[in-house]
Amino acid sequence: MAHHDDKIRHVEISLIQVPLKNAVSDAKVLTGRQQPLSHVAVLTADIETVHGARGFGFSYTLRAGSAAIFAHARELAPFLIDEDPNDIGRLWEKLAWQGASIGRSGLAVQAIAAFDTALWDLKAKRVELSIGKFLGCYRTAIPCYNTSGGYLNATLDEVLRNVDTSLDKGLGGIKLKVGQPDLSKDIERVRAVRKHVGDSVPIMVDANQQWDYTTALRAGCELDEFNLVWLEEPLSAYDYAGHARLAEKLKTPIATGEMLSSVAEVQNLIEQRSVTFLQPDVPRVGGFTPFLRIMAQAEQHRLKLAPHFVMEQHVHVAAAFQNETWVEHIEWLEPMFNERLEIKDGLMYLPTRPGVGFSLSGQALEWRVAHARV
């Protein structure tokens, strides 16, 4: 039941370190830029109103930054007290202005994302709809693909076994990591997987920003023969013009956008015609509020959407996007939640549970490393 005079009574935030079963490596590790990834740090926000309405949201960070995102969220939380939780856009702006000195991208907005998602969760729960249905659906089942089986720390034999497991689970597409120092090894992997699955299974490849333009063009020309859905992050995430030049020369569509952390940065990709598949990330750009602005621009430019990671949130925006869309299946956060997404015949189904449709498991609370209540 909606109350017109409802106000936020308290806000609780937590930092949870979710361990990965096995540490994973992409091309950034092989080039010495990063260490293998072993944990995902998740910032959660619980918001409760005077009338007892509740909202749950979360954001995340990989590698360094978790202490900072928690600290910033703790500073912002008091500014939500006594506010009307329905005024989501205004509250986003209010929090953004508090942190204006550290900018409107990256950590500054990723802390806001947890609150923003909690407010959308609360609002959708009032009317007992999932966020996807609340926004308005174009579909309730979205094509999905698996990423976690195709990392470079896995041998080719392991990758092929992972591919079989993914397809048996009902996942639709397979994404492979590339960008090794030796390009012929990348091509060998992709060729082996294409041969293994046949022509009809969708395959995507992801270079994680590890090529320069010349290498990317060479690699892209060789990869063109495999009829890939897309070539992801061939260049630096901020090389908008380079991606646009590649897109003109290759048959394989270009996908990028996951590293960008503001509406303005993603707008650059769109305006410079750098991509066919736009890959923004709800928590990274600051929550559902900014993500909806990105969606509107993407629809206007007839782009396709394939949001990065966090399938628990992205299933909602993908359901509400007009054009072709994919959801990335990475199961890393599953142990955090009591609920699971339904997947069959290559499709991921929008939860019918209200709001985001997820609640924290007892296991998640054991992994909690910081906590504050305002």
**Residues 124, 139 within the same domain:** no
- 124 inside domain: yes
pLDDT tens sequence across 187-217: 999 999 999 999 999 999 999 999 999 999 9
Domain tally, the chain: 2
- 122 inside domain: yes
Residue 5's pLDDT is: 83
Q: Is 308 known to be catalytic?
A: yes
Which backbone phi and psi does 109 adopt, to 5 degrees?
-95, -20
CA distance 319 to 133: 8
**Residues 234, 334 within the same domain:** yes
**Residues 39, 99 within the same domain:** yes
- In sequence order, which ranges of the chain are alpha helices (DSSP H)? 27-30, 66-76, 88-98, 107-126, 131-135, 156-168, 183-197, 213-223, 240-249, 263-271, 282-285, 288-300, 311-319, 362-366
Domain holding 43: CATH number? 3.30.390.10
Domain holding 272: CATH number? 3.20.20.120
CA distance 133 to 104: 29
Q: What would the two tokens of residue 213 be?
A: 């333009």
- 356 inside domain: no
Annotated catalytic residue, options 72, 125, 175, 177: 177
- 164 inside domain: yes
CA distance 83 to 87: 8
Residue 362's pLDDT is: 96
Cα distances from 80 to residues 73, 74, 77, in angstroms, run 11, 11, 6
Annotated catalytic residue, options 133, 308, 314, 316: 308
**Residues 118, 141 within the same domain:** no
**Residues 109, 139 within the same domain:** no
**Residues 333, 369 within the same domain:** no
**Residues 27, 80 within the same domain:** yes
Residue 2's pLDDT is: 60
Residue 1's pLDDT is: 57
Tell me which residue range forms the domain holding 223. Answer: 132-349
pLDDT tens sequence across 18-75: 999 988 888 888 888 889 999 999 999 999 999 999 999 999 999 999 999 999 999 9
**Residues 80, 222 within the same domain:** no
- 1 inside domain: no
Confidence of residue 76 (pLDDT cuts 50, 70, 90): very high
Q: Is 316 known to be catalytic?
A: no
Confidence of residue 108 (pLDDT cuts 50, 70, 90): very high
**Residues 181, 287 within the same domain:** yes
**Residues 307, 369 within the same domain:** no
Residue 34's pLDDT is: 87
pLDDT tens sequence across 237-270: 999 999 999 999 999 999 999 999 999 999 999 9
**Residues 262, 221 within the same domain:** yes
CA distance 297 to 299: 5
Residue 4's pLDDT is: 73
- 18 inside domain: yes
Residue 319's pLDDT is: 98
pLDDT tens sequence across 118-150: 999 999 999 999 999 999 999 999 999 999 888
Average pLDDT, the chain: 95
Is residue 293 over pLDDT 60? Answer: yes
Residue 163's pLDDT is: 94
**Residues 336, 226 within the same domain:** yes
Task: Record the pTM.
Answer: 0.96
- 3 inside domain: no
- 123 inside domain: yes
